[in-house]
Amino acid sequence: MSISDTSLKSFNTFSLEVNAVKIITVDTVDQLVSAWSDAKLAGLPVLLLGEGSNVLFLEDFAGVVILNRIKGIAVIDEHDCWSVHVGAGENWHHLVRYTLDQQITGLENLAMIPGCVGSAPIQNIGAYGVELQSVCQYVDLLDLNTGIVKRIDSSECQFGYRESIFKHHYRDGYAIVAVGFRLNKKWNPVLTYGDLVKLDRKTVTAQQVFAAVCAMRSSKLPDPRVTGNAGSFFKNPIVEAEKARSIKESYPKAPFFEQPDGSVKLAAGWLIDQCELKGFRIGGAAVHQQQALVLINVDNATSRDIRALARHVRVQVAEKFAIWLEPEVRFISSHGEVNAVEALS
């Protein structure tokens, strides 16, 4: 366990100049419980953080930030699959590369998603036709008040589009310490999105899918190490089929994806782009020129700049399409997470 200075700039990918009362890095369950208990005894709010890739700090945090760095990757070679147990503090993209290096397939579509493994189930991360829920076997959850680790089967995680039980019932007083994956040996490539449709299903390899995903993400998304951002800022809205049809009548080339229940998922980036907002700027924050779904810190942006820009984007899309976008990014106030939609209202 280590204690760093109070600046959170290097612990949020927007690179915002915000601070905490104390920042503690832990790499064991015992250290995590101890840091949590000490903060609670001191009467301070606590924020558990991975790599800060999906958060917007609205202001300084008036408490203790605990950085989860519990690591380790263990693979069990079973008859029809690989069971992979991963510490919550492992970097997600490192895990994807590691599995492919071990000739283990199934995570290649999820390459280059920023953040730690422990954050993946919370958001039910997904990209290019694959969501975490399709490969997750279990989540090991620590009750911070008792120190007991409980294994939650994937069927109990209430996974949905960027949703899970960890955003609700297990949000406060719990910490994900490990995630288990079941990766089938019989590989079934998912080639339904972007440039992946150009690949030949009969000859394609997982490494080729991985390379294509990395190339697409690199061409569209800014590197947070260079330009501060939190990736996709808004969720892709899911609307009724009738609403999607009306948009399609006016915009025949509009991308949309039919859902099993008959609803339709629209591309939030496309909706923003139709409002001609690429490059639009408020203060030091701007809409990215290549991918309108990404808000970036271009010139020492403040939390207020990014919040104002997000509000403007949301209003413009609502005025044009009568669709209110919901943030995918978590909003953190001085005492903890707040409702992002309410924060933009």
Residue 62 dihedral angles phi and psi, to the nearest 5°: -90, 40
For residue 16, give the 3-state DSSP assignment: coil
* Token duo for residue 215: 């190339």
pLDDT in tens, the chain (345 residues): 656 669 999 999 999 999 999 999 999 999 999 999 999 999 999 999 999 999 999 999 999 999 999 999 999 999 999 999 999 999 999 999 999 999 999 999 999 999 999 999 999 999 999 999 999 999 999 999 999 999 999 999 999 988 999 999 998 899 999 999 999 999 999 998 889 999 999 999 999 999 999 999 998 889 888 999 999 999 999 999 999 999 999 999 999 888 889 999 999 999 999 999 999 999 999 999 999 999 999 999 999 999 999 999 999 999 999 999 999 999 999 999 999 999 998
Neighbouring residues of 137: CB distance < 8 A, sequence distance ≥ 6? 83, 153, 154, 180, 181, 182
Active site residues: 162, 232, 328
Q: What is the pLDDT of residue 193?
A: 86
For residue 56, give the 3-state DSSP assignment: strand
Q: What is the pLDDT of residue 175?
A: 97
Buried b (16+ CB within 10 A) or exposed e, 179-191: bbbbbeeeeebeb
Tell me which residue of 206, 127, 141, 213 sits closest to 180, measured CA to CA. Answer: 141
Distance, first Cα to last Cα, the chain: 39
* Full set of structural domains in the chain with CATH: 2-68 (3.30.43.10), 73-217 (3.30.465.10), 222-344 (3.90.78.10)
Q: What is the pLDDT of residue 221?
A: 87
Give counts: helices (H), strands (E), the chain: 8, 21
- In percent, the amount of the chain with pLDDT more than 70 equals 99
Residue that has been written with the tokens 């976008």 in this structure: 325
Distances (CA, A) of 146 to 30, 52, 118, 171, 178: 11, 26, 20, 15, 17
Buried b (16+ CB within 10 A) or exposed e, 104-121: bbbbbbbbbbbbbbbbbb
Apex 229 CA angle, 225 and 233, nearest 5: 150
pTM: 0.90
Neighbouring residues of 254: CB distance < 8 A, sequence distance ≥ 6? 247, 248, 266, 267, 270
Beta strand pairing call for 61-68 and 20-26: parallel
